[in-house]
Chain A
Amino acid sequence: MKFGIVVFPGSNCDADCYYALKDVAGQDVEYIWHKETGISGFDALVLPGGFSYGDYLRTGSIARFSPVMPAVVDFAGQGGLVLGICNGFQILLESGLLPGAMLRNRSLRFICDTVSLQVEQSDTPFTNQFAPGEVIQVPIAHGEGNYFCDPATLEELKREGRIIFSYSSADGEVSSAYNPNGSIANIAGIINRPGNVLGMMPHPERCAEAVLGGEDGRRVFASMVHWLQRQGVPA
Chain B
Amino acid sequence: MLKANVYVTLKPGVLDPQGEAVQKSLHVLGYEAVEEVRIGKFIEVWMQDTDQETATAQLREMSDKLLANPVIEDFRVELAGAERP
Contact = CB atoms under 8 A, between A and B. Distances in A.
Given A107-B17, A148-B14, A148-B15, A101 B66 contact: no
Interface stretch (A17-25, A57-65, A217-225): A57-65
Contacts, number: 38
A182 B67 contact: no
A interface secondary structure, majority: loop
B69 A106 contact: no
B82 interface: no
B interface secondary structure, majority: loop
Contacts of B17: 103-108, 146, 182
Given A148-B14, A148-B15, A182-B15, A108 B71 contact: no
Interface in A143-162: 146, 148-150
Closest 6 pairs (CB-CB, A-B)? A101-B71, A101-B72, A104-B17, A108-B17, A106-B17, A101-B69
8 contacts: A62-B66, A65-B66, A100-B71, A103-B72, A105-B17, A108-B21, A146-B17, A148-B71
Interface of B: 14-18, 21, 66-67, 69, 71-72
Interface of A: 57-58, 61-62, 65, 93-94, 99-101, 103-108, 146, 148-150, 182
